[in-house]
Structure 1
């Protein structure tokens, strides 16, 4: 079961620009943070499995697959992205939420929990950037190119070409992506403003952000789950285990038969894992 591409799309005007988002269900709020070069559609198979018990909120973050550019002066570095998420929560009146992150969305979730622990009810991370791996090792050689005027946009545009697109998504999705969803991921890159936005984010990635978050998460006391992809080609399993050891009381588990984009490959299994974890660690919520 999935929700269609045009289902219940809403928009918020934030200081950084307009953010498109969807929400489904009622109950305790869960906010899903996706990675780069995808959008909220990555959670389309997870949300329907949880919306019967939770209010699922899925923003399209400005990471290259967002439908329209942010303001030209928007801070879209990783710390700026954390601020954007906080502004998003404030605009929705959400004081405390469950956060689920994948890929670079997991890095943002770590930074969010480290900087604003009072806003996090529970933290759930799937395969993602951690410690010294931000950006991912395979993209790290491209980062210096983004500092050359005009070249960063051309690098981002490569993801719209079939060879690069095919290799990239093959490496992070084991079982493929439906054509209409894949188009929603890559078509926005035709817009120079969208390319500018994703270059801002990519240029701002640096290990100091994830390392600082890890140090702060050593005192994070909310229930945490690390649900790693068993067949990940991008993010090392040992880093997931290390993160689980770093966060007090965190649980580590493997999701079988999936690469980095766990919500694409195994949405039902991921939803079941999330549901079981939340049920075992349920707490009162200030906002329903």
Structure 2
């Protein structure tokens, strides 16, 4: 892991390096960059993969106390990170809330992003997303100490697998979800960051309809919409609508997976992204 200083505080990231096409991967709330481990392993030989862990509740180093942890604030942090690392011609990939951030980044006209991959993510009015997201955001109303006490239940696998926790997000990724809850259990500053983020999301539930949807049609770069067929948190019709809204998009629906496709079907995910980037490179 490397670290870079930003206006929000230090951000940890991995960078596989290399001269191949640059892909930046964004994770969701109460997750870290390990969401992408298997996908990156399959892509790293031919692509430069950059994976930040954003201050969204599973990070290791606290954000600055005055950092903007709203979705627009986190999207600006992503844009700042691309600039700080001097990345160009980026394929920006987002899953779960990472997809919401990716929408906001390109809607704000990020010149460094040339291709977009949205994978089973918040869209339109699905903020916070489904039963899982609404439950999590409600817990964010608790004081940070009580939020931490509530999250101690997530040490128990049976509780992590409930629909109100991670049960509808992944079929096979329980080892990752167990890891993701540890920072809020051990660090009061991470609990503070998590509750601030969750409260900001609850306070602006129309953020994507207001800031992203009206501007996505202006993104004319190639786009891939990857969606879990039968997703119970991110409605599949939203994937179809996003593919229609983006001028140069195609839709791929993935079987035998929940929302977190990189955990449940990493090889399928990596293959779809590699084909998408390769085709665009050949056309370009």
TM over 0.5: yes
Match for residue 97 of structure 1 among 78, 90, 100: 90
Match for residue 197 of structure 1 among 193, 196, 199: 193
Q: What SS is found at the alignment partner of 1:38?
A: coil
Once superposed, what is the RMSD of the aligned Cα atoms? 2.2
- Does the aligned pair in 2 maintain the 1:145–1:151 contact within 8 Å? no
- Does the aligned pair in 2 maintain the 1:156–1:189 contact within 8 Å? no
Q: Distance in 1 between matches of 2:172 and 2:138?
A: 32
Match of 2:37 in 1: 44
Match of 1:248 in 2: 247
- Does the aligned pair in 2 maintain the 1:232–1:259 contact within 8 Å? yes
Can you list the C-alpha shifts for 1:114-143, whole angstroms capped at 9, x where unaligned?
002422110001000000001112132554
Q: Distance in 1 between matches of 2:50 and 2:223?
A: 19
Q: Distance in 2 between matches of 1:85 and 1:159?
A: 31
Can you list the C-alpha shifts for 1:222-257, whole angstroms capped at 9, x where unaligned?
100100012422011001101111111210111111
Note the C-alpha offset of 1:177: 2.8
Note the C-alpha offset of 1:36: 1.2
Q: Distance in 1 between matches of 2:56 and 2:94?
A: 14
Q: What SS is found at the alignment partner of 1:101?
A: strand
- Does the aligned pair in 1 maintain the 2:144–2:192 contact within 8 Å? no
Note the C-alpha offset of 1:197: 1.2
Q: Distance in 2 between matches of 1:256 and 1:234?
A: 15
The size of the alignment, in residue pairs, is 275
> Taking structure 1 as reference, are residues 152 and 240 closer, same or farther at Cα in structure 2, changes over 3 Å only?
farther
Deviation larger for 146-155 or 21-30: 146-155
Query: Where in structure 2 are there 5+ consecutive unaligned residues?
Result: none
Note the C-alpha offset of 1:155: 7.6
Match for residue 157 of structure 1 among 140, 151, 155: 151
Verify: 1:218 aligned to 2:210, yes or no. Answer: no
Match of 2:10 in 1: 18
Note the C-alpha offset of 1:157: 2.8
Can you list the C-alpha shifts for 1:248-277, whole angstroms capped at 9, x where unaligned?
121011111100110000000000000111
- Does the aligned pair in 1 maintain the 2:216–2:246 contact within 8 Å? yes
Note the C-alpha offset of 1:149: 5.0
Match of 1:186 in 2: 181
TM-score (norm 2): 0.89
Q: What SS is found at the alignment partner of 2:248?
A: coil
- Does the aligned pair in 2 maintain the 1:31–1:99 contact within 8 Å? yes
Match of 1:6 in 2: none
Match of 2:26 in 1: 33
Match of 1:236 in 2: 235
Query: Where in structure 1 are there 5+ consecutive unaligned residues?
Result: 1-8
> Taking structure 1 as reference, are residues 258 and 217 closer, same or farther at Cα in structure 2, changes over 3 Å only?
same
